[in-house]
Structures are given as structure tokens and as C-alpha cells.
Amino acid sequence: MKFSDVLDQAWAEDSGSPTALGRDLRLVRASAPELLALDVPAGSYGELAGSYRPEQAAGAVTAVVLTHDEERVIGACLRALTDDCDRLLLVDAESEDSTLLTARSAVAHVEHVTRAWTDDFAAQRNAAFAQARPGGWLAHVDADETLSEESRGRLRAVLSALDHVLPGVDLVVSPRILDTSRECHTDTRRIVRSDSALRFRGRLHERLYDAHGGRPPSVEVDVVFHHTGYEPEVIERRGKREKYARLVELCLAEEPSNPKWHFYAVRDGLVGRKPGPDEALALFRRLREAHALYDRVPLSDYEAERWTDSLVLRCELALGFGGGSEIAELAPLLHARGRLLEASYYQAFAEFSALLNRSSRLLDQLSEASRDPLPGHRQLVGRSYDLQALLALTCGRYDEVSPLLDEARSCQAGSLTTATLESLADRLPSWRDLPQTS
């Protein structure tokens, strides 16, 4: 029986009274294909479910929290983890505030090790492996993250189920990280077995890889952490933009041919702000030049991990400077890489923007021609105002619609287009209050 069969059986159970194993396995929302193809050590799903003892299945779960002057957030972070984690371990980069005192006041039996900051998040996280207990899990949590109320108990449950069904498999578990902007990150790769050979890599935006830079198979689970670290006030107060920029420059100096650091250099500099058209164009060109580095062969997963995201960011920047032709070139590449929604969105947005601009130009042309009509063209002028009103509504110049309708009525009452517009206005009475396009 394959892992995919086990998951199918779990979801096929009676939703009102599932087995303990089925209940916990339903927290698995996605899995790498190589994991789905693995054989599960059991004769049948019934035997597997019958032998499952959640309280005995999971090894010790250790929450690993990196800290440096986190007195504002550490208490909430740790309190939310107490039901799911046997140990709470802080890897502290010589905090100068009351982080450790606040942590001890918030929960009992918190442990910590002190490690000097060396401009390397991966090194800080990897220090936890030396403190780990065999046969358990290390769950890496940022100090500005809190396990959601509805997720409490789920983390231990799904790790117990994975220990029972895939014992000893070197995999990573990806909880969901929800920013205050409501952006949800799913491919997070935060949780790993304590005796794993995998290690974090990267001075920042660190992730788990094997010794050759290969990406390990991941299981995405329905466990949600709320993240507040990208709130504008937090970014400003902690100087995150400057700190990340400095670390990215270090990474670029050490690995100049690694394209992902060029991606991060652009993306991190945009956190919390929107570039103007000129800056968007300059950043687009920088990413376009760096993207050629992805053509090198062979490329490890560590180097190639942001390939598709770089395409998406280039599309987003192209929106900022009106780069419809650039988007037209990038959208098929996104489609080929399985990012169908993004490919369709950017393509549709670019084409629709072009239509709106064309409609606005046609409106201006008609408006100019209608200013000095020849005698005897009253009916045609009325039809012109009629069409102008339709174009104004189409391209978002809403404040011009009513005056144009009035002009159309004065020249030719009851035209088909005018009746259509009036009907639309009756059905959508708020259109007059919509923001005007530039």
C-alpha cells in the first residue's frame, strides 16, 4: 500500500466518526509525489489505523525559536506552542533586552542556548540540531509568529500520524504562514526530524536542503501560524529592510552566479512599498539580466528555487510601468511552469489595460471631432455623444458619463446606446461614485 492510498482511505472515512489516524492524516493537504509513491509498512489501512496510538506515535517535538531582542513578541509565541511541543528551545543571539526573562515568565521550562550573531540565519537554526533529542522533531518558529488558536493540537497530531505511517523518512513538513496582509505562504519547510541529515542553507531566507543542495520532499499541513513581522511599523522599527539588504549583498558577494540572490535583492527592497514607473522599469531590467543565470546547467535546487517567483515578480513590475509586451512574453513561461492563475491574470490584466487605453484614446478623438460639427449633422453628433458616454463608462472616466448622456439626449432622444447606459446606471447606481482613472 502506498502513502497516497493511505491518504485516500483517510479522506474516505465517515467524516462524522473517523478513526484517530484518519482524523490526523486529514491535516495533510498536499504531499510531494515521491512521498505519495512510498510503500507504507502495513498490510491494510484497517491494520494501520487499528495500531495507531497518537499519544505514543510521535517523538518529542522541540520548538526552535531564534531570538534577538524579542521581548515584545516572545511571550505570545511560546504560550501558543505549549500544547504541541515538549520542549521550547531559544537560540538567542545575545539579546540585550528582557527577551529571556519574558520567555521564562511566559512558560515553564523554557531552554535557551546563546550563539553570537554571525550574519547567518541558517547557522543559527542549524545550531539547534546539536541540542536535539534523537527520534523527535524540530519545529522552527519565528519569534514574531504565533500558532493560531484553531491549529493548537494539530501540529502534534499530524506529526504523530506521519511518524506512524512514514517512520524514519527524511522529509520536511510545511505549516502555513499567514501574514497580516492575508498573504498565505504554504511551501515553508519549517519542520524536520531531529536526526535528519538535512540542514538549513542561506544567510537569510534559509531553507532545508540535502548535502548537494537538493530540495527534500515536503508535506503541507493544515497548521496555521500568524506572522506579524512584515507590518510596516515593525519593518521600520527593526530596520529589516536595511538588514536584509546587507545580508543579500553578502550572499551576492559569496555566490555571484546564484540567481536567487538577485531575486531577493529586488523583492526585499520592495517590502512595504510600491515603486514608481521608472524604478519598476529599472528593477525589471535587473531581474531580466539576472534571469539568464537560470540557464546554467546543472543548477541545484538551492540555486533554482526562485526561478518561477522571479518570473512572477517581473510581471508585477511590468504592471508598474505599463509593460504589456513584456507581460505577453512572460505569461507563456509561467503557464509552462504550471502557474496557470498567474499567467492568466497578468495576461488578462495587460490586455484589458490596453483595451482601456485604446477606449480612452477613442473617446478623446470623438470628443475633439464633436466640438465643431457641420450644419445638418445634429443626429450624427447625438450618436457621437452616445458613443462617447459608452466609451467613458468602459474606460472608467465616470464623471464624463452624465454630461455626455445629456448632450446625446439634446441631439437625439431615445437612442439604443443611451437607453442601454441608463438601464446600466439604474442597475448599478453606485457607478457614479467609483474612483476615476487617470
The C-alpha cell that represents 383 in the structure block:
450618436
Q: What is the mean pLDDT of residues 11-26?
A: 92
Judged against a pLDDT cut of 90, whether residue 62 lies above it is answered with: yes
- 207 or 397: which leads in pLDDT: 207
Tell me the C-alpha to C-alpha distance, in Å, between residue 283 and each of 28, 239, 258, 263, 318. 38, 22, 17, 10, 10
- Listed in sequence order, the residues at least 6 apart from 162 whose beta carbon sits closer than 8 Å to its beta carbon are 28, 171, 173, 219
For helices 416-427 and 378-394, angle between their N-to-C axes, nearest 10 degrees? 30
pTM of the full structure? 0.82
pLDDT of residue 230: 76
Note the pLDDT tens digit of each residue in 97-121.
Answer: 999 999 999 998 899 999 999 999 9
Q: What is the mean pLDDT of residues 386-411?
A: 85
Least confident of 46-60, 171-185, 196-210: 46-60
Element (H or E) spanning 138, and its range? strand 137-142
**Helix H segments across 151-257?**
154-165, 232-238, 240-254
Judged against a pLDDT cut of 70, whether residue 430 lies above it is answered with: no
Least confident of 86-90, 296-300, 309-313, 421-425: 421-425
- Grouping H, G, I as helix, E, B as strand and the rest as coil, residue 64 is strand
Judged against a pLDDT cut of 70, whether residue 316 lies above it is answered with: yes
Tell me the C-alpha to C-alpha distance, in Å, between residue 105 and each of 64, 70, 306, 323, 346. 18, 14, 40, 54, 50
Residue 209 near residue 170, CB atoms below 8 Å:
no
- Grouping H, G, I as helix, E, B as strand and the rest as coil, residue 57 is helix
pLDDT of residue 22: 96
Judged against a pLDDT cut of 60, whether residue 427 lies above it is answered with: no
389 pLDDT band, cuts 50/70/90, is confident
The most distant pair of C-alpha atoms in the chain lies apart, rounded to whole Å, by: 94
CA gyration radius for the chain?
29
pLDDT of residue 421: 57
432 pLDDT band, cuts 50/70/90, is very low
414 pLDDT band, cuts 50/70/90, is very low
Judged against a pLDDT cut of 90, whether residue 194 lies above it is answered with: yes
pLDDT of residue 74: 97
397 pLDDT band, cuts 50/70/90, is confident
Tell me the C-alpha to C-alpha distance, in Å, between residue 33 and each of 7, 36, 74, 94, 95. 13, 5, 37, 42, 42
Q: What is the mean pLDDT of residues 308-330?
A: 93
413 pLDDT band, cuts 50/70/90, is very low
- Grouping H, G, I as helix, E, B as strand and the rest as coil, residue 179 is strand
For helices 324-336 and 307-321, angle between their N-to-C axes, nearest 10 degrees? 160
Instruction: Give residue 266's Cα distance to chain centre.
Output: 16
Exposure b/e, 335-358, CB count within 10 A at least 16 = b: eeeebeebbebbbebbeeeeeeee
Least confident of 90-94, 279-283, 328-332, 423-427: 423-427
Handedness of CA 321, 326, 331, 334 (dihedral sign): negative
Q: How far apart (Å, rounded) are the C-alpha atoms in residues 198 and 404? A: 68
pLDDT of residue 232: 77
- 189 or 402: which leads in pLDDT: 189
pLDDT of residue 241: 84
Q: Is 195 left (phi over 0), alpha (psi -120 to 50) or beta?
A: alpha
Judged against a pLDDT cut of 60, whether residue 221 lies above it is answered with: yes
Q: What is the mean pLDDT of residues 239-255?
A: 92
Note the pLDDT tens digit of each residue in 283-307.
Answer: 999 999 998 898 887 899 999 999 9
Q: How far apart (Å, rounded) are the C-alpha atoms in residues 321 and 317? A: 7
438 pLDDT band, cuts 50/70/90, is very low
Judged against a pLDDT cut of 50, whether residue 254 lies above it is answered with: yes
Note the pLDDT tens digit of each residue in 374-385.
Answer: 666 777 888 888
Q: What is the mean pLDDT of residues 215-244?
A: 89
pLDDT of residue 415: 52
Residue 137 near residue 58, CB atoms below 8 Å:
yes
Exposure b/e, 256-274, CB count within 10 A at least 16 = b: eebbbbbbbbbbbbbeeee
